[in-house]
Amino acid sequence: MDLTRRQLLGRTGLAGAGLLLPPAFGRWRVVAQDPGELPAPSPRVARFERLGFGMFVHWGLYSQLGRGEWTMNLHGVPKAEYAGLMQTFTAADFNGRELARLAKRAGMKYVTHTSRHHEGFSLYDTRGLSKWDVTNTPCKRDLIADFTEGCRAEGIVPMLYCTTLDWTDERFQSDWKGYQQYLRASVELLCTQYGPIGGFWFDGNWSRKDADWEEDALYGLIRKHQPQALIINNTGLGAGGEIGHPEIDSTTFERGRPEPVDRHGHPKWVAGEMCHTLNFHWGIAVKDFNYLSPAHVIEELCGCRRAGANLLMNVGPTATGAVPPYETALLEKVGDWIRLHGGDQGPLYRGLPAGIQGEGRDFGLRLGDEVYLFVHDLTLTADTRAHAQSRGPGARPFAGLDDDWKTATWLDDGEALKLVRWGDGRLVLHATKYPYGTNTVVRVARLKA
């Protein structure tokens, strides 16, 4: 029973109010239309959804100060003083291929790296567009070239973060048209000098919501030079799920667990992606000790896949470009969990939401003629929050499973599990407790019909 995406999503029960039409500015508006209509994903969007899990990298001059990526703005560092950081930027420990190897070890399929952040400093050769680039530092090498080549060598998809906001370029305040031309010229370099790019991740339009960002021209040059690249523009905190311009291929959920994107009647299939960071900053912050645990990341990854969205998890390299030891160890542990649950061919990458809903955070994904049930909160340690409650082993009912399912087994050890059907139609998995010495945070059961 190999269901198509259209058939699966037709079973989700998501309400479709009508056709979403783009406004001149702001949110999309809804126009009545047949709620059953679903667009088909373009090949680039379908590929992106299968990637599932990616690494975000925030690294720049700010990394030398170790106070987060917004330190220039929030700590009031004068531009001249901040520019002095260019004289000590060596990138001595940055290696694009090593970064890609860590991503692969963690089970990540793509890396989105800052090419330039809001401070205006570029990690690539801007070829005269700006003096604030890596060629005018002791590093003297194009780090985006190093990054993209390293990713391809390891089979990782390179994607590029591009700020649209700039704190140091005077044109941002005084010559809006000139600044837009500079922005497009910068993006065109990234499109034409670094080989195939998986996507462009823009950030900053939220800083001037009523401005004309000339998105038609910006996205048009990407479609011209990199037609298979994804286009994403971050809607910012508190605006998760907004879509915006018709060329956008994925909506964003910044540090907010995504909900399923209702695509009924939509003119195109738009993916979803949650970006999250391992502490409370995106760039390295040496006095921030509030880091996530591997368990927390595993739960966030499962929560994203429940909604059919990707998880883009951020790391902040050191001043010289190395991923710190804690982040490295954490990501390796998450990679171990992914491999235990099917790796590349498992439900995390290939499973599709199909309206299979348990109680609490429990849910199911379909993969071909199998279903994978994700069971949460078997123990207190399955959630890092102090107020968490363990539900323990026992009956876990799921709605949306109407077929005659015969067998259920845990993926982590192959133990057979009991299935029963309640009178209300829900299928009940009798979840057993973890064996001593085992705790996989989210336990996954495979069902076969």
pLDDT of residue 35: 47
How many other β-carbons are positioned within 10 Å of the β-carbon of residue 429? Answer: 24
pLDDT of residue 230: 97
In DSSP terms, 364 is beta-bridged to 356, 373
In angstroms, what CA-CA distances link 363 with 359, 373, 374, 392? 8, 6, 5, 16
What is the DSSP secondary structure assignment for residue 88, as one 8-state letter?
Answer: G
H-only helix segments in 194-324: 215-225, 294-306
What is the DSSP secondary structure assignment for residue 344, as one 8-state letter?
Answer: G
Backbone angles phi, psi at 116, to 5 degrees: -155, 135
Backbone angles phi, psi at 217, to 5 degrees: -70, -40
The two structure tokens encoding residue 154: 């390891």
**Does residue 313 sit in helix, strand or coil?**
strand
3-state secondary structure 153-177: HCCCEEEEEEECCCCCCCHHHHCHH
One-letter amino acid identity for 416? A
Structural domains for the chain? 43-347 (3.20.20.80), 351-448 (2.60.40.1180)
The residues, ordered by sequence, that sit 6+ positions from 145 with a Cβ below 8 Å of its Cβ are 124, 193, 194
pLDDT tens track, the chain, 449 positions: 333 443 344 333 332 222 333 333 233 333 333 445 788 999 999 999 999 999 999 999 999 999 999 999 999 999 999 999 999 999 999 999 999 999 999 999 999 999 999 999 999 999 999 999 999 999 999 999 999 999 999 999 999 999 999 999 999 999 999 999 999 999 999 999 999 999 999 999 999 999 999 999 999 999 999 999 999 999 865 655 677 789 999 988 876 777 777 777 778 999 999 999 999 999 999 999 999 999 999 999 999 999 999 999 999 999 999 999 999 999 999 999 999 999 999 999 999 999 999 999 999 999 999 999 999 999 865 455 555 678 899 999 999 999 899 999 999 999 999 999 999 999 999 999 999 999 999 999 999 98
The two structure tokens encoding residue 212: 């004309």
The residues, ordered by sequence, that sit 6+ positions from 403 with a Cβ below 8 Å of its Cβ are 1, 449
pLDDT of residue 38: 84
Please classify residue 265 by burial: count the beta carbons closer than 10 Å to its beta carbon, then call 0-12 exposed, 13-18 middle and 19+ buried.
buried
